[in-house]
Amino acid sequence: MTNSPPDGNRRVKNPARLAVLVSGGGTNLQSLLDHFNSPESPVARVTLVISNRASAGGLERARLAGVPTRVINPVQAGEEAAGAEMLEALNAAGIDMVALAGYLKLIPPAVVKAYTDRILNIHPALLPSFGGAGMYGARVHRAVIESGARVSGATVHLVDDHYDEGRILAQWPVPVLPGDTEETLGGRVLKVEHLLYPLAIERFLTGEGDAPVAPLEAFDLIADTRPPAESIGGLNYRIALNNR
């Protein structure tokens, strides 16, 4: 894969500089910190964390890891000013790629334009189902259970000007088990998110293409059970990383 950097004039550094945007506790941020901010990972480093909430737990995770933080609140600053401030922060930090990790605001158009095909998000369902404005956290898992679906999962996708409509890069299916609640299904999906997101970002940056990663045993690992084959339908038991 060859990606032009946001300013179009230089190539991605090695390791790439990654900004993570959070609104909450930041467990997906933690999985990225654990994966990338270690001597063993030459691919990327999380070098900036931005939140729209000063109280977000993800900011403390960043500080404990020695990563600079920034709070940019579009409600207080206004959407256009917040977009300009975010773009200034990303450029000042020399950011190559942006990862959303539980960030609940729409990314400002100026940032999307400057970082076209360089912003990724992870969603706690198998898009294009159960996505869109207002579909996050427990709301997603409640909708999945109420629909009668027997499979949910996690999706990594590119970010555009609309919620959850960017090109899908990777998915990992997770069974919906009898008696599941929002909490139990959400916990099962979150475990998969923590495994999938760092790997998908790494594959995206290194351009390794379509690579099988998650075997049948993934269901045993996550759910301690394997659902009947008919509950899976046409889904494949692997991460499907699209050729770019």
Q: Which domain CATH number covers 199?
A: 3.40.50.170
* 107 and 69 in a common domain: yes
Same domain, residue pair 43 and 74: yes
**Shared domain check, 112 and 137:** no
Taking only the tens place, the pLDDT of each residue in 152-195 is 999 999 998 888 888 888 888 888 999 999 999 999 999 989 98
Span 32-49, average pLDDT = 93
Shared domain for 129 and 225, answered yes or no, is yes
* Percent share of the chain, pLDDT over 90: 54
* Residue 202 · residue 44 · CB < 8 Å: yes
73 vs 87: CA distance, rounded Å: 13
Express as a percent the part of the chain with pLDDT over 70: 80
What pLDDT does residue 208 have?
61
In the chain, which ranges are E strands?
16-22, 44-51, 69-71, 97-100, 119-123, 151-158, 168-175
164: tokens are 């959850």
123 close to 154: Cβ distance less than 8 angstroms? yes
| Same domain assignment for residues 96 and 56 | yes
| Residue 92 sits in the same domain as residue 137 | no
37 pLDDT tier (thresholds 50, 70, 90): very high
Strand 44-51, strand 119-123: pairing:
unpaired
Q: Which of 82, 116, 150 is the last residue of a domain?
A: 116
Within this chain, do residues 143 and 221 fall inside the same structural domain, yes or no? yes
Number of domains, the chain: 2
Q: Based on the fold, state whether residues 131 and 224 are members of the same structural domain.
A: yes
Which residue, among 145, 147, 152, has the nearest Cα to 180 in the 3D structure? 145
Q: Which residues are catalytic?
A: 123
**Residue range of the domain that includes 9:** 1-116
